[in-house]
Chains A and B, each alone.
Chain A
Amino acid sequence: MKKRRLKIPSKGRIPISIVSLVLGFILAFSYSISSENTEELSLVSSQFNEQEKYKEELILQKERNKELTEEMNDKQQAIRDIEQSLVDSEGNIEGLVNEAEMLRLLIGDITSQGKGIAVSLVDGAYDPSQENPNDYIVHESHVFKVINELKISGAEAISINGQRLHANSFIRCTGPVITVDGNIFPAPFTIEAVGDPSVLLASVNLGGGIVDQLTSDNIVVIVEEKSKIMMPALRDETS
C-alpha cells in the first residue's frame, strides 16, 4: 500500500476533494428527488386501485338492484293479476281497481303502452337580428306548458326524451339544458304522451293553444301521431 501511495502524486488533492464533495451532494440530491417521484407514482396507483375496487362494488350493487327490480316487477304483476281476478268475481270493485290502475300510471309504477302523440320542441334557427338568444331557444317553461296541456287532455303517461315523468317529477332549468329528475337533457326535447291521439292532437293544436304560443316564441314545434308508444315502468335506477 505504501509503495502505491508514493507512486500516485498528491498534488491537487484538495480541489479534487471539493469536486467529489459537490458530486456526492448532487448525486444524493437527485437520488432523493427521484425516490420522491416514485413515491408519488405509487400513491397514484394505489388511488387507482381503490377506484377500481369501488367500481367493482358499484357494478355488484347495480346487478343486485337489477335482480331486485325484476323481483319487484314480478310481484307487481302478481298483485295486478289478483286484482284482475277480483274484478272478474266482483263487479263493484271494478271501479276501484281501475282507479288503482290510473294511479299507478300516474306514479309511473307500471309499463304504459298504446297510441299517443309526440311533440318535439326544437330551438329556433340562429337569428342575427335577435340580440338575445333567450328569445329563440326552448325554456323549461315551454316544456311545462306542453306537459300541462297533455295532462289536462288525459295523457296516461308522459316522457321527456325517454325519461318518464311521475307524480313527483321535477323539471329544472340548468343553463342551456334542463334537468328532469336529476338527469340532464339538451334540446331538442321530444315529449311523448300515451293517450287518445285524436283528443291530444286536438287540444295541442287548439287555436291560440300551445302550438301557437310556442311558435310565437320562435320555437319549432313538431307534432306527430304515434300508433304505438312504449314506456317502461319507472324504477329508481338513477345512480
Chain B
Amino acid sequence: MWLPLLGLILGISLGLLTEIQIPEVYESYLSIAVLAALDTLFGGIRAQLQRVYDDKVFVSGFFFNIALAAALAFLGVHLGVDLYLAAIFAFGVRLFQNIAVIRRILLTKWSERKINS
C-alpha cells in the first residue's frame, strides 16, 4: 500500500536533486512523458481495483504509450503540425475516465463497508 507512495516521494526528491539541463525544444516531450506516466499509473490502479491487473499489459502499455506519444511529437516537430496535441488529448481523456472509474469503485466499496458495519 505504501510502496507506490514511497516511490513517488523518492522520485520527487531525485528529480529536485538532479541538475540536468535539457534544451527548450524537448519541453513538449517532457509534458507528454508526464501525461503518459500519469495515465499509466491511474490505469494500473484502476485495473488493480477491478481485479483485471496484468503485469505484462501494464509494463508494455507504459513503454508503448510513451514511445507512441514521443514518435507523434517528433513527427509533429518535423512536419510543423502540433501532432503532440493528439497524444495530450488522448492521455487527458483516458486520465479523466480512469479517475472517474476509480472514484466509483472506491465510493461503492465505502458504501458497502458502511452497510456491513
* Alpha-carbon distance between A19 and B57 when the two chains are bound, in angstroms: 13
Comparing A29-37, A61-69, A215-223, the segment that makes contact with chain B is A29-37
Question: Are A17 and B7 within 8 A (Cβ)?
Answer: yes
Of A8, A26, A28, A33, the residue contacting B49 (CB under 8 A) is A8
B15 to chain A, nearest CB (A): 3
Residues on B with C-beta less than 8 A from A111 are none
Cα A189 to Cα B70 in complex, Å, equals 62
Q: Does B12 contact A (CB under 8 A)?
A: yes
Size class of B's contact patch? 35 or more
Q: With A20-B4, A26-B30 in contact, do A8 and B41 touch (Cβ < 8 Å)?
A: no
Distance to closest chain A CB from B78 (angstroms): 23
**Min distance, Cβ B72 to any Cβ of chain A, angstroms:** 18
Give B22's nearest chain A residue, CB to CB: A33
Instruction: Tell me whether A22 and B3 are in contact (CB under 8 A).
Output: no
* C-alpha gap A211/B100 in the complex (Å): 92
Contact with A along B89-110 (1 / 0, CB 8 A): 0000000000000000000010
Query: Which residue of chain B has its CB nearest to the CB of A29?
Result: B15
A29 touching B30 by the CB < 8 A rule? yes
Instruction: Name the contact of B7 in the complex, choosing from A18, A30, A31, A33 (C-beta under 8 A).
Output: A18
| Distance of A25 Cα from B6 Cα, bound (Å) | 12
B44 contact set on A, CB distance < 8 A: 12, 15-16, 19
**CB < 8 Å neighbour of A30 from B8, B34, B38, B51:** B34
Residues of B within 8 A of A9 (CB): 48-49, 51, 53
Residue of B at shortest CB range from A3?
B113
**Contact indicator A31/B53 (Cβ below 8 Å):** no
Smallest distance from the beta carbon of B29 to chain A beta carbons, Å?
10
Q: How many residues of A contact B (CB 8 A)?
A: 30
Interface contact B37-A26, CB-CB below 8 Å:
yes
B64 to chain A, nearest CB (A): 13
Q: Which residue of A lies closest to B17 (CB)?
A: A28
- CB-CB contacts below 8 Å: B8-61 with A: 8-16, 18, 20, 22, 27, 30-31, 33-34, 37-38, 40-41, 44-45, 47-49, 51, 53-55, 58-59
Chain A residues near B14 (CB-CB < 8 A): 21, 24-25, 28
In the docked arrangement, what's the CA distance between A10 and B3, Å?
Answer: 11
Task: Flag whether B62 is at the interface (Cβ < 8 A).
Answer: yes
Interface check B1, CB cutoff 8 A = yes
* Cβ distance A136 to chain B, nearest Cβ, rounded Å: 47
Interface centre among B12, B31, B41, B45 (most CB of A within 10 A): B12
Complex interface: chain B residues within 8 A of A3 (CB) = 113
Asked if A44 is at the interface (CB within 8 A of a chain B CB), the reply is: no
Is A125 an interface position by the 8 A CB rule? no
A28 touches B3 (CB 8 A): no
- With the chains together, A4 CA to B6 CA distance in Å? 19
Question: Does B58 contact A15, Cβ atoms closer than 8 Å?
Answer: yes
A19 to B7 Cα, complex, angstroms: 8
| Beta-carbon contact of B4 and A30 below 8 Å | no
Name 10 A/B residue pairs within 8 A (Cβ), A-sorted. Answer: A5-B1, A12-B44, A21-B7, A23-B41, A24-B8, A26-B37, A27-B15, A29-B18, A31-B16, A33-B27
